[in-house]
Structure 1
Amino acid sequence: MKKIILRILVLILVGKNGLAQNNKVELAIGEKVSKLIKLGDSDSYQIELKKNQFALLNLKQIGIDLKITTYAPNDKEIEEFDSPNGNNGNEIILIDALSNGRYEIKVTTLGEDKKYKKGNYEIKLIGINDSVKSHLNNTLKTLYDRNHIPGFGVSILNAEKILYQNAMGYANMKDKVPYTIETVQNIASISKTFIGLSLMKLVEQEKLTLDTPINELLPFKIVNPYFPNNLITIRHLATHTSTINEQGFYHKAYILQDKEALGKYDYHKHFLKELNSAKKNKRLPMSDFLKRHLSVEGKDFKKKSFFKAKPGEDWYYSNTGAALAALIVEYVSGVPYDEFVQQNILNPLQLESAAWSGKVTDKYTLATQYDFRRNPLPKRTIVTYPDGEMYINISDLSKYVMSYINGNIGKNGIVGNVYLKEMMKVQHEQMEGDFKGRRDGLFWEHSKSGVMGHSGGDYGVSAFMYLDPTTNLGFTYVCNIMPLESDYSNAESRSIWAVLKRYANFIHRSN
């Protein structure tokens, strides 16, 4: 009888996954627990939360790859946390309490690399918050403190107002100039959305159609030499299906302004190659550059500047295709492209900080751009400036996204609602090849996650601008560094973006 009773007691004490309930360590705010863990082992921790509270924890991996799983008070699994940072690095852990009770945090070894049979970790409960804004502030601060990004700005917004915005770090690291919500920086390819909006303005004015062949609007002829009878249209330029292959000449569009900076810093070979190329380039008017490389009449025209594909069929991202579209805006409107955007977009939306490269006013702090080693990058401009040289701060970028949300809910803005929706709707879906599943509007991206907008990444810049068409919430993120895929700053940027989207609805409900 004693043995039976003992077995019953053991079964009562043993919880899910075979872990004794009294083995769960209670975490206190601010306390750091350090542990040695062997391959195949797991540890469990718990915290007490009230409904609608938010918990923030951090786990530092030291020599072993770990997975963290959170459980609700009813023992139901909530979420797994496992960033692609291998055996070392930090995992941020977030719990959004939907009920009162004790929440479990289980730490498990992954064992993907068998040679690492043991390692250490440190886990810390950073804070518990009743306010989602305070929680988001603390989470972003924790991510920033990893020290991989110089400075960044974020925002969450709806059709009427900015619900949340924040900025951290430095616009200039050497001079300790803070990065604020008013700091202006380049947004790279998000600049292309201004081309899309400009085109729709001309469509609304009946000065062109999306299916107008570009050779009816340009003073020089452009055709794909492999398919000369298949005319390239405005729609093809705006959906990146024009078949332009710029890989052999686009680097010639960059102009290095600060040539003396090359010898001052230890730049990665990726950046050094670009900088040395830009150092040799000579500035040309945008129309001359495009004609030179894309028109059969051009001095440097090559057949390989086009893919062996029919225009309109396949997606090939093209910066010069975007620049051609901007040039068409100039020719059709009779106004230089930068002036057209100023008069028809920036002024009506009151985007006071927005300006093209070299035209940012002294009223705003301009963010220094850094490589992933945090070396300041020398200033450079690009001949095809409409495809990636818009500068703006996070507050005005948020107002810009609002204009698209208002269009999505049926309101008129810079252009009539019908024309804005035409720009945002899917115009091309790639059905095969490396980019199968890719969906695009007119200089407008549709993500597999359901959000739409545009991103930008270039020389010392990373930027995101998206909206959720189902909730009509928007979010933006910009930082003054361009992370490489394998770099910690890339993982940090992805984490910031994921956290922003995670709490968008919470922020919306709290306003």
Structure 2
Amino acid sequence: MKNFLIFPLIALMLFISTVSCDKDDVQPTIDPGSIDTPADLTAVLNDIYSNSDAPGMAVSVIKNDSVLYQQSFGKATIERNKPYTNQTSQPIGSISKTFVAAAIVKAIEQGYFTLETNINDILPVELKNPKIPDAVIKVKHLVTHTSGLLDEAGSYFQAYHILPGEDISTEGAQLLVGGFGIQQRETMPLADFLASYYYPGGDLYSSENFASTAPGSTWNYSNIATSLAAYLVETATGIDFKEYVTTNILLPLGMTRTAYNMEELNSENMAELYWDKSTPLPDYANDSYPDGSIHTCNEDLAKFLLDMMKGAKGQSATLFSAAGYKMLFEALIPEGIVPEILAENQGVFWFLNGEEIKHDGSDPGTSCNLQFSKDGNSGYFLLTNMDASTDIHDQAYFELAGKVHAAVSAFIQHQ
């Protein structure tokens, strides 16, 4: 069984990149001419959902500065027959990294550091790559996955944990405990987790956490390095990262149903996460929470996407100056460093590929993708509470995502 916490995001990006380029392979049963109206799209998506393994799903479509379509399908909780609605909250996996991106740019605009700042000018304790002790790791290296700081699979598994109070005798809990070694425990503070991973003497410290290549020279997708970037914001500003994001990103956008901690949200609006339709998973968390653990809903995420799209056009000042939005989506590394099949380049965590700007996310029981055109004129996202984290389930999600992509693309063409 493959590493279900790291590699599915890459597989998902590969798949969405493929269907974006070759729509004929994914929409043989969809007639673009038949999806003219929101009602047409609902009918098609309802059919796609009904023939999928997804417990529930949500879709928003934006074009020309308006949310043209927003609908949810299926169940938030199958056992209670609770519908998945536009207010249903769920984690969105690595799409959370785009909120780290927003926090980084906000902190830069507030004057705390720049993309060129050495991370050791911010960190309270110097961090060194033991394989290249003199290497200078800059903020821009963290936000482009070129820092030389790696995710060691075994250690990253240990960041995930079942929350206290959850029943670990259930089939879903035993899948996490027995299959992947995820234990039930309290959450470790972010600073403590990063220290245990990056500093000698830490329980998770290993030479395998570091690459032997110079910062900026190679691309290695890193969840933990993303959380280190979030910790830079926390250290530089003196404000807890969750609080910083809430104050500077969520509240200005009116995202009142979005939070990192589930307990801050109405439990009646939370989606159950599923291994499969008959196997709900227990509530779990991640010590490295900034990289993938924000919880949001269809209505709220559409507000974020709409602002990002307006910002890409230079038409928003809600979160940053025009220069700040430009920084988010500007190619930051030389061509050829990001694997060609994934994207052409990297902005501040955002993937830049041709005319598309995107990010995807996958964790146990949640699989999502989000993308918009580089000109900011059209975009959409898909949220599901289904699993795509192993070979057992990923193809089912990829097929669903491909069909949704084709249907949404056909709808956008007629607007």
TM-score range, shorter chain: 0.7 to 0.9
Tell me, in whole angstroms, the C-alpha distance in 2 between the residues paired with 1:491 and 1:258.
Answer: 35
Partner of 2:402 in structure 1? Answer: 494
Partner of 1:354 in structure 2? Answer: 258
Structure 1: which amino acid aligns with 2:71? N
Q: Which of 132, 136, 157 is the aligned partner of 1:251? A: 157
Structure 1: which amino acid aligns with 2:179? K
Tell me, in whole angstroms, the C-alpha distance in 2 between the residues paired with 1:80 and 1:350.
Answer: 35
Tell me, in whole angstroms, the C-alpha distance in 2 between the residues paired with 1:216 and 1:466.
Answer: 34
Structure 1: which amino acid aligns with 2:61? I
Tell me, in whole angstroms, the C-alpha distance in 2 between the residues paired with 1:264 and 1:197.
Answer: 38
Q: Which of 372, 389, 402 is the aligned partner of 2:306? A: 402
Over the aligned positions, Cα root-mean-square deviation in angstroms equals: 2.5
Q: Which of 118, 138, 141 is the aligned partner of 1:236? A: 141
Percent identity of paired positions between Structure 1 and Structure 2: 27
Structure 1: which amino acid aligns with 2:303? K
User: Does 2:32 align with 1:96?
Assistant: yes
Q: Could you tell me how far 1:358 is from its partner in structure 2?
A: 2.2
Partner SS, residue 179 of structure 2: helix
Partner SS, residue 428 of structure 1: coil
Cα 1:360–1:427 change in 2 (3 A) is same
Q: Which of 195, 202, 218 is the aligned partner of 1:291? A: 195
How many residue pairs align between the two structures?
A: 388
Partner SS, residue 386 of structure 2: coil
Partner of 1:180 in structure 2? Answer: 85
Q: Could you tell me how far 1:145 is from its partner in structure 2?
A: 1.2
Q: Equivalences for 1:209-220 in 2 at 5 Å?
A: 209-220=114-125
Structure 1: which amino acid aligns with 2:298? I
Q: Is the 8 A contact 1:159 1:405 kept in 2?
A: no
Q: Is the 8 A contact 1:238 1:443 kept in 2?
A: yes
Q: Gaps (5+ residues) in structure 2?
A: 1-21
Structure 2: which amino acid aligns with 1:417? A
Q: Is the 8 A contact 2:109 2:320 kept in 1?
A: yes
Q: Is the 8 A contact 2:187 2:285 kept in 1?
A: no
Cα 1:198–1:142 change in 2 (3 A) is same
Tell me, in whole angstroms, the C-alpha distance in 1 between the residues paired with 2:212 and 2:77.
Answer: 45
Tell me, in whole angstroms, the C-alpha distance in 2 between the residues paired with 1:209 and 1:433.
Answer: 22
Q: Could you tell me how far 1:164 is from its partner in structure 2?
A: 0.6
Q: Equivalences for 1:237-386 in 2 at 5 Å?
A: 237-247=142-152, 248-257=154-163, 261-265=167-171, 272-274=178-180, 276-279=181-184, 283-296=187-200, 298-362=202-266, 365-372=269-276, 374-386=278-290
Tell me, in whole angstroms, the C-alpha distance in 1 between the residues paired with 2:374 and 2:335.
Answer: 21
Cα 1:135–1:242 change in 2 (3 A) is same
Q: Is the 8 A contact 1:349 1:400 kept in 2?
A: yes
Structure number with higher helix proportion: 2
Normalised by the length of structure 2, the TM-score is 0.86
Tell me, in whole angstroms, the C-alpha distance in 1 between the residues paired with 2:150 and 2:234.
Answer: 23
Tell me, in whole angstroms, the C-alpha distance in 2 between the residues paired with 1:379 and 1:162.
Answer: 31
Q: Equivalences for 1:111-190 in 2 at 5 Å?
A: 131-158=36-63, 160-190=65-95
Q: Gaps (5+ residues) in structure 1?
A: 1-78, 84-90, 98-128
Partner SS, residue 182 of structure 1: coil
Q: Which runs of 4+ in 1 moved over 3 A?
A: 79-83, 258-263, 266-272, 296-300, 432-438, 484-487
Q: After superposition, what is the alpha-carbon deviation per residue over 1:477-505, rounded to whole angstroms, capped at 9, x for unaligned?
A: 10001224554343123211332233223
Q: Which of 200, 218, 221 is the aligned partner of 2:126? A: 221
Q: Equivalences for 1:8-157 in 2 at 5 Å?
A: 93-97=29-33, 131-157=36-62
Cα 1:178–1:299 change in 2 (3 A) is closer
Structure 2: which amino acid aligns with 1:501? S
Q: Could you tell me how far 1:440 is from its partner in structure 2?
A: 1.1
Structure 2: which amino acid aligns with 1:93? T
Partner SS, residue 231 of structure 1: coil
Tell me, in whole angstroms, the C-alpha distance in 2 between the residues paired with 1:503 and 1:471.
Answer: 17
Partner SS, residue 275 of structure 2: coil
Structure number with higher strand proportion: 1
Partner SS, residue 156 of structure 1: strand
User: Does 2:350 align with 1:444?
Assistant: yes
Tell me, in whole angstroms, the C-alpha distance in 2 between the residues paired with 1:496 and 1:258.
Answer: 36
